């Protein structure tokens, strides 16, 4: 029988044991917390993010490591825009800045989830023909200044849902057609090329490309009716994707010619462009450009990125696509050597279809654009506030306003002439347009036949077989190595003509940096294949990019203080 003393002794032993256990547990938790803090501190010291080369994955790692907040990131990009866009080199890439960008960033910081969505907290730039309900959408036209559309474009909704922050809207060729002045608009003026401030950044997605090259954001959106994503991306050392027509919904994007245009991403790397494509993609059931239902878009295109994708690939080249510029052609020849060294077989092929040689692409595309623009732009104008023109004729009259024409950025007279030419086509019923649509089908058949007969995986060619236009020329000799500004009409050896192939067929084309000229101007290489070949093309482009890694940042927009984040 236990005595009171023995019970007390026993109770004391138990209490002492519990106290010791509790102390041990607290000590263990403290040790764990100390180790976690030490590990976090070590991770933060080891992790360094360089804003100049930061990818989406890098930024997300910085968020997770707590070395960077979304607000800090947005502020860093806003600092660059303030320093380089309207002063200093005055790239003039942006038409407007989102005044709510920092407030949105703070909200994303406050509610940051454990698992980040694909674009969570990623600052992006939209071409100014993508409708936004919280920022004006002008299409580069001063006539539409301050126009707020009734809703976001479908693509914009998808980007916002993925967590992207719209940092601003990019300058562009007016209503997405350069008409001899690449990257110029009455609303935004002329966008300069960050690699050479005496040259343009192509068009029409000039601001979208120049902004990313100057590192004003992580990636941007563009639209492409005649090389308008790929030309600017090539001239600014970037990756640009012109996807299969209809793969990305055009709803809510100011139209130029829906049957031959497509929207897509512009980024510094194939990986970031693939991430952007996955968010933007989604077949449009009401879009006439959608090429049937033979394939569905993927939410994640990064799954197709493969460093070995070129092993065993058959790559076609068309010699008719060359001879626009000797430096560009040499870079292309060097790229072919790289493709071969990576295991690809390069095959010379012919691509023509009953009179549809490459030099005829421009005229054919022009016929389609002029006929489609008239009815399409009037449909868009009807959705806007009553303060804005409702017809193309009224748009012309407003463009000729004396105050606007005497301003520092009047409407390009050639653009106004094309407005009138579009009206004169009568729209979609004119015989030239009907014939052009039939010729498009012939060209699609020619591409399918070429790929089948030669068992090709892709065609490759210089994205633009020439150099950016000089914005100022001291003498005629300075223009010899550049693309002389010209109207949209096809001209002999038009350096953009090869890119028209993707628009006329509706097939995808991805451009990736291939090299630099002696004067440090970027040159792009295009990978092209039939409809819905994006997975294959991304793999090929990625393999080439990873093997070459030729991209470098422009010297005119160097890093600012504080852009290296983390580390010691």
pLDDT at position 351, please?
A: 80
Tens-digit pLDDT profile for residues 426-462 = 999 999 999 999 999 999 999 999 999 999 999 999 9
The per-residue pLDDT for 274 is 99
End-to-end CA distance of the chain: 69
pTM higher than the cut 0.75:
yes
Concatenated DSSP letters of 283-329 = --TT-TT--TTS----S-GGGG--TTTTTT-EEEE-GGG--S-HHHH
Tokens of 458: 């892709």
Catalytic annotation present for 28: no
Residue with tokens 């263990």: 28
Residue 2 has pLDDT above 80, yes or no: no
Both tokens of 558, joined, read 């160097």
**Residue 127 known to be catalytic:** yes
Residue 484 predicted with pLDDT over 60 = no
| Mean pLDDT computed over 513-524 | 98
Q: Which position has the token pair 């092993």?
A: 311
Q: How high is the pLDDT of residue 567?
A: 60
Whole-number pLDDT of residue 48: 82
Q: What is the pLDDT of residue 566?
A: 76
| Residues 108-158 pLDDT 10s | 999 999 999 999 999 999 999 999 999 999 999 999 999 999 999 999 999
Q: What is the C-alpha separation between 108 and 132, in angstroms, rounded?
A: 20
Q: What is the pLDDT of residues 193-220, one digit of tens each?
A: 999 999 999 999 999 999 999 999 999 9
| Per-residue confidence (pLDDT) for residue 196, from 0 to 100 | 98
Q: What does each C-alpha distance from 167 to 98, 264, 422 come to in angstroms?
A: 5, 17, 34
> 240: how many CB neighbours lie within 10 A of its CB?
32
Task: Tell which CATH architecture fits domain 69-107+118-374+411-556.
Answer: Alpha-Beta Complex (3.90)
Q: Mind listing the pLDDT tens digit for each residue in 309-319? A: 999 999 999 88
Question: Does residue 521 register a pLDDT over 90?
Answer: yes
3-state secondary structure of 170: strand
pLDDT tens per residue, range 36-62: 444 444 444 556 899 999 999 999 999
Over residues 52-81, the mean pLDDT reads 98
26 band by pLDDT with thresholds 50, 70 and 90: low
Q: Are 317 and 348 in contact (CB under 8 A)?
A: yes
Instruction: Please state, rounded to an integer, the average pLDDT across all residues of the chain.
Output: 89
> What is the C-alpha to C-alpha distance for residues 338 and 111, in angstroms, rounded to an integer?
46
pLDDT in the model for residue 451: 96
Residue 147 annotated in active site: no
Phi-psi region of 349 (alpha: psi -120 to 50; beta: other; left: phi over 0): beta
Where are the alpha helices (H) located in 139-261, listed in sequence order? 154-161, 206-213, 230-235
Q: Taking 60 as the threshold, does the pLDDT of residue 488 lie above it?
A: no
Please name the helix (run of DSSP H) or strand (run of DSSP E) that holds residue 271, with its range, or none: helix 270-280
Distance (Å, rounded) from C-alpha 142 to C-alpha 140? 7
Structure confidence by residue, pLDDT tens digits, 215-251: 999 999 999 999 999 999 999 999 999 999 999 999 9
Residue 199, SS3 per DSSP: strand
Q: What is the DSSP string of 6-74?
A: HHHHHHHHHHHHHHHHHHHHHHHHHHHHHHHHHHHHHHHHH-EEETTT--HHHHHHHHHTTS--HHHHH
Q: Which residues pair with 224 in a beta bridge?
A: 262
Distance CA 479, CA 472 (A): 9
Pick the catalytic residue: 204, 208, 223, 371? 204
Contacts of 562 (CB under 8 A, 6+ apart): 76
- β-bridge mates for residue 265, sequence order: 221
Distance CA 392, CA 374 (A): 7
Q: How far apart are CA 395 and CA 141, in angstroms?
A: 10
3-state secondary structure of 126: strand
Query: For position 477, what pLDDT does the model report?
Result: 46
Minimal CA–CA distance to 396: which of 372, 369, 357, 423?
Answer: 423
Contact 346, 339 (CB under 8 A): yes
List 49's β-bridge partners, or say none: 565
User: 361-381 and 431-454 helices cross at what angle (nearest 10)?
Assistant: 120
% residues pLDDT > 70 (the chain):
85
Peptide bond between residue 509 and the one before it cis (omega within 30 degrees of 0): no
pLDDT by residue (tens digit) across 344-398?
999 999 886 655 678 889 999 999 999 999 999 999 999 999 999 999 999 999 9
- Exposure b/e, 498-513, CB count within 10 A at least 16 = b: bbbbbbbbbbbbbbbb
Of 220, 223, 228, 482, which is the active-site residue?
A: 228
CB contact at 8 A, 284 and 255 = no
Secondary structure element (H or E) that encloses residue 566, with its range: strand 564-566
Q: Can you spell out the DSSP letters for 517-535?
A: -TT--EEEEEEE-STT-HH
Torsion on CA atoms 346, 347, 353, 355, rounded to nearest 10: 90
Q: Which residue has the higher pLDDT, 34 or 544?
A: 544
Cβ count within 10 A of residue 487: 15
């Amino acid at each position: 029988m236990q005595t009171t003393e023995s019970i007390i002794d026993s109770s004391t032993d138990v209490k002492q044991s519990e106290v010791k256990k509790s102390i041990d547990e607290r000590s263990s938790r403290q040790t764990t917390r100390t180790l976690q803090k030490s590990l976090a501190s070590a991770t933060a010291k080891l992790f360094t993010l360089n804003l100049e080369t930061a990818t989406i994955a890098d930024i997300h790692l910085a968020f997770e490591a707590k070395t960077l907040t979304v607000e800090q990131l947005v502020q860093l990009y806003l600092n660059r825009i303030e320093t380089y866009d309207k002063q200093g080199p005055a790239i003039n890439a942006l038409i407007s800045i989102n005044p709510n960008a920092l407030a949105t960033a703070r909200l994303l910081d406050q509610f940051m989830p454990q698992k980040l969505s694909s674009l969570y907290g990623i600052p992006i730039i939209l071409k100014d023909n993508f409708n936004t309900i919280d920022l004006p959408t002008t299409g580069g036209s001063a006539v539409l200044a301050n126009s707020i559309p009734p809703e976001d474009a479908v693509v914009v909704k998808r980007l916002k849902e993925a967590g992207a922050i719209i940092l601003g809207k990019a300058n562009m060729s007016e209503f997405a057609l350069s008409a001899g002045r690449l990257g110029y608009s009455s609303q935004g003026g002329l966008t300069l090329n960050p690699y050479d401030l005496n040259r343009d950044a192509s068009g029409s997605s000039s601001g979208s490309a120049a902004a990313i090259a100057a590192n004003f954001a992580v990636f941007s959106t563009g639209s492409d009716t005649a090389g308008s994503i790929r030309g600017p991306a090539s001239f600014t050392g970037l990756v640009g994707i012109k996807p299969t027509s209809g793969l990305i919904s055009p709803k809510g994007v100011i139209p130029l010619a829906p049957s031959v245009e497509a929207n897509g991403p512009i980024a510094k790397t194939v990986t970031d462009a693939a991430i952007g494509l996955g968010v933007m993609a989604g077949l449009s059931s009401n879009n006439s450009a959608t090429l049937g239902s033979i394939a569905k878009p993927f939410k994640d295109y990064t799954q197709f990125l493969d460093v070995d994708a070129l092993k065993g690939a058959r790559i076609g080249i068309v010699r008719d696509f060359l001879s626009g510029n000797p430096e560009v052609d040499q870079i292309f020849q060097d790229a072919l050597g790289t493709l071969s060294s990576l295991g690809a077989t390069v095959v010379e092929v012919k691509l023509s279809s009953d009179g549809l040689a490459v030099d005829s692409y421009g005229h054919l595309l022009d016929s389609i654009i002029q006929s489609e623009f008239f009815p399409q732009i009037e449909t868009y104008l009807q959705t806007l506030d009553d303060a804005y023109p409702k017809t193309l004729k009224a748009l012309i009259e407003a463009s000729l306003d004396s105050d606007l024409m005497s301003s520092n950025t009047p409407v390009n007279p050639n653009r106004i002439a094309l407005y009138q030419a579009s009206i004169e086509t009568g729209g979609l019923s004119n015989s030239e347009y009907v014939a052009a649509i039939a010729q498009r089908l012939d060209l699609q058949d020619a591409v399918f036949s070429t790929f089948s007969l030669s068992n090709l995986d892709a065609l490759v060619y210089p994205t633009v077989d020439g150099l950016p236009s000089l914005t100022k020329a001291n003498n005629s000799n300075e223009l010899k190595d550049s693309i002389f500004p010209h109207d949209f009409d096809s001209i002999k050896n038009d350096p953009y003509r090869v890119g028209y192939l993707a628009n006329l067929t509706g097939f995808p084309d991805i451009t990736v940096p291939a090299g630099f000229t002696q004067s440090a101007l970027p040159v792009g290489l295009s990978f092209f294949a039939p409809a819905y070949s994006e997975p294959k093309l991304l793999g090929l482009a990625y393999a080439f990019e990873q093997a070459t890694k030729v991209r470098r940042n422009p010297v005119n927009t160097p890093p600012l203080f504080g852009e290296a984040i983390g580390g010691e």
